[in-house]
């Protein structure tokens, strides 16, 4: 399970960085992955961190919302 979470997190991080690479490539009309990656990785890391900060509380709330009525939290 930990390997799955690690793989998913790595995939999400790469995806966040590649979003900035895509936008820059569309803006300039030139595709240069290596150059754009080196320029945009910090922005992608911040986007990934923002998604984690916003996403984790939502997941916790949803799990609590589902677990409470179904009796997972003890009875």
pLDDT tens for each residue of 44-62 = 999 999 999 999 899 889 8
Q: How far apart are CA 67 and CA 26, in angstroms?
A: 44
Q: How far apart are CA 16 and CA 6, in angstroms?
A: 15
Question: How many whole angstroms from its chain centre is CA 30?
Answer: 26
The distance in angstroms from the start CA to the end CA of the chain is: 28
Query: Which positions of the chain have pLDDT values less than 70?
Result: 71-75
pTM value is 0.76
- Measured at the alpha carbon of residue 66, what is the angle toward residues 63 and 72, in degrees to the nearest 5? 90
């Amino acid at each position: 399970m930990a390997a799955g979470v690690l793989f998913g997190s790595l995939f999400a991080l790469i995806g966040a960085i590649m979003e900035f690479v895509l936008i820059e490539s569309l803006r300039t009309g030139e595709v240069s992955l290596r150059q754009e990656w080196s320029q945009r990785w910090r922005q992608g890391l911040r986007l990934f961190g923002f998604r984690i900060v916003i996403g984790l509380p939502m997941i916790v709330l949803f799990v609590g919302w589902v677990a409470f009525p179904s009796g997972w939290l003890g009875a």
